[in-house]
Amino acid sequence: MIRKFRFSKFIFLLCVYSFSGTLFSEDLKTQETLDKPKDKIAQSKDENLKVDAQDSSETKQEEEVGLKKEELNLKKKNDMVIPIQFGFFIDGYYNASLNRPDSKELSYTTQATRTNEYNINLAYLDAKVDTDKYRGRFAVQYGTSVVANYSGEGTTGKTSNETSIRNMQEAYGGVRLGKSTWLDAGIYFGHLGYESWISHDNFVYTRAFSLDYVPYYVSGARLSGKITDKLSYQLHLNNGYQVVSDNNKDVSGGFRLEWNPLHNLMFRWNTFIGNEQPTTTPKETRYYNNFIAEWKLSQRLILASSFDVAYQERASREDLVYTPEGPIYLRRDGTAFRQTYVGNLWFAYRFLPDWRIGVRLERYLDREQMIVVTNTKDGFQTSGATATLDYHPDPAILVRFTYQYRRSMDSIYPHENNTSKLDRMFIFSLSLKI
């Protein structure tokens, strides 16, 4: 019993001693901390701050390096991505011709050529690339205006892709040579004239005679750039006058000068020089000059005009002249030039946000049939007036109502089963451009 009591007492004292020893050691540590000099404490704090600052600077450096690597990777990725833009256009029309030709085909025009039926004037799909270093466009097309415009292409070449040329609206590539200098080569739109082949871009739905008888497209190379901030240029070297496959051994060319003295005023001078006769016929060089002025009076009102002068050498002193008795040859005193004169005036006024009216007046004089062959006494001497009412609710949608009146000196326009001096028509069209 006594032994048991002593043993339990021993255990109790051992526990008390252990507990008191722990408390004592903690008190000693606290006292040592209190007894440490202040400069040592400050020194330890400074060392800790230096370590933390060093760690943070290393972390920042690692973050900056990571950001730079990410930027370089983004630049590489952006350089590898080619910015291709795809587009779509369709222009459908119904031409209610008052002449009602038996063949349903209009003459002396390339636009809305089928009468009294709904048809597609032009439809295309395109892909464009435009960067600071290079650019290009490839477009395939279909429509009645395509067939009309490519009627002059030859069909004798074996490897010139003549059968598929009409389905290529444009196929060119370009490279930047300087700050504002570009070199393009391939098949591309012609530079003569004010109106575009794309009806969506014009004030009037149909095209003026002066546009139907200058190249809608050419094949070759062009150099373009700026001389000053207000003066730009284009130099062209082409196969010919609206041909891809050349019909002779000569090379054609021309230039464009455009001057913008004010932000709303533009003057343009376009030229073309070249021989357009086949190799088997005598050479006749053509000189074509096209002068354009555009004045944007306001956001609602635009005025534009153009004047064309064309000359073509005669191959011989004998000239074919059409008389009521039939064609005869007349001998000239010299090999003077044939001449053609053309004048156009456009007026466009947006009287409501979604509504616009466009008017065109035109006069075409080609008495000696230098460009337009009619096989008549007075040749192609025609005047015309066209008005178009546009409903434009969205930049991509254009609904148009057009009336066109033209009158020729000779009876040249198909009229039922005969011909007439007058050509009148109403045209409804709807186009979508994306």
Q: What is the pLDDT of residue 321?
A: 62
Q: And the tokens for 44?
A: 């330890």
Q: Quick: pLDDT tens for 271-315.
A: 999 988 877 777 888 999 999 999 999 999 999 999 999 999 877
Q: Which residues are CB-neighbours of 354 under 8 A, at least 6 positions away? A: 391, 392, 393
Confidence of residue 34 (pLDDT cuts 50, 70, 90): very low
Q: Quick check: 28 pLDDT over 90?
A: no
Count CA atoms within 13 Å of residue 145 on its CB side.
Answer: 26
Cα separations (Å) of 379 from 319, 353, 394?
13, 43, 43
Is pLDDT above 80 for 30? Answer: no
Using alpha carbons, select from 117, 122, 302 the residue that is nearest to residue 196. 122
Token digits of residue 82: 């080619």
Tokens of residue 183, six digits = 């070199």
Top mean pLDDT of 19-28, 130-139, 248-257 is at 130-139
Burial annotation 243-279 (CB, 10 A radius, 16+ → b, else e):
bbbbbbeeebbbbbebebeeeeebebebbbebbbbee
pLDDT at 171 over 60: yes
Look-up of token digits 């030229």:
271
Residue 376 pLDDT: 87
Two structure tokens written together for 379: 């040749």
Delimit the domains of the chain by residue range: 14-74, 87-433
Query: Whose CA is closest to 207, among 216, 356, 300?
Result: 216
Specify the higher pLDDT residue, 245 or 66: 245
Give me the architecture of the 87-433 domain, per CATH: Beta Barrel (2.40)
* Confidence (pLDDT) at 245: 82
Query: What is the Cα–Cα distance from 248 to 286, expressed in whole angstroms?
Result: 14
Give 329: exposed, middle or buried? Use CB within 10 Å, 0-12, 13-18, 19+.
exposed
What percent of the chain has pLDDT above 70? Answer: 75
Residue 126 burial by CB count (10 A; 0-12/13-18/19+): exposed, middle or buried?
A: middle
Element (H, E) at 9: helix 2-35
Q: Which pLDDT tens digit goes with each residue over 408-434?
A: 999 999 888 888 999 999 999 999 999
Is residue 116 within 8 A of residue 99, CB to CB? The reply is: no
pLDDT of residue 333 exceeding 60, the answer is no
Instruction: Read off the pLDDT of residues 201-243 as tens digits, 9 standing for 90 and up.
Output: 999 999 999 999 999 999 999 999 999 999 999 999 999 888 8
Largest CA distance in the chain: 164
pLDDT band at 255 (very low <50, low <70, confident <90, very high): very high
Rounded to an integer, what distance in angstroms lies between the CA atom of residue 258 and that of residue 292? 9
Rounded (5°) CA angle 377-379-385 = 130
pLDDT band of residue 338 (cuts 50, 70, 90) is confident
Half-sphere exposure of 308 (CA within 13 A, CB side): 31
Pick from 400, 308, 405, 387: nearest CA to 347: 387
Tokens of 14: 């051992």
Residue 201 is given by DSSP the state: G
pLDDT of residue 225: 96
Cα distance between residue 389 and residue 394, in whole Å: 15
Check residue 311 and give its pLDDT: 92
Determine the 3-state secondary structure of 250 from DSSP: coil
- Residue 146: the pLDDT is 93
Q: Are 121 and 143 in contact (CB under 8 A)?
A: yes
State how far the Cα of 21 lies from the Cα of 35, in Å rounded to an integer: 21
With beta carbons less than 8 A apart as the criterion, state whether 141 and 150 touch: no
For the chain, give the mean pLDDT: 83
Query: What phi, psi does 351 have (nearest 5°)?
Result: -85, -15
Q: What is the 3-state secondary structure (H, E, C) of 309-378?
A: EEEECCCCCEEEEEECCEEEEEECCCCCCEEEEEEEEEEEEEEECCEEEEEEEEEEEECCCCCCCCCCCC
pLDDT in tens, 101-114: 888 888 899 999 99
pLDDT of 416: 85
Strand, coil or helix: 159: coil
Residue 336's alpha-carbon distances to 252, 273, 288, 319, 377, in angstroms, are: 21, 17, 16, 11, 20
Confidence of residue 42 (pLDDT cuts 50, 70, 90): very low
pLDDT category of residue 4 using cuts at 50, 70 and 90: very low
Read off the tokens for 84. Answer: 């291709």
Instruction: State the virtual CA torsion across 188, 153, 434, 196 in degrees, nearest 10.
Output: 70
Determine which of 68-82, 191-205, 392-406 has the lowest per-residue pLDDT on average.
68-82
Higher pLDDT, 49 or 103: 103
Give per-residue pLDDT as tens, 340-392.
999 999 999 999 999 999 999 999 999 988 899 888 888 899 999 999 999 99
Pairing relationship of beta strands 182-189 and 418-420 according to DSSP bridges: unpaired
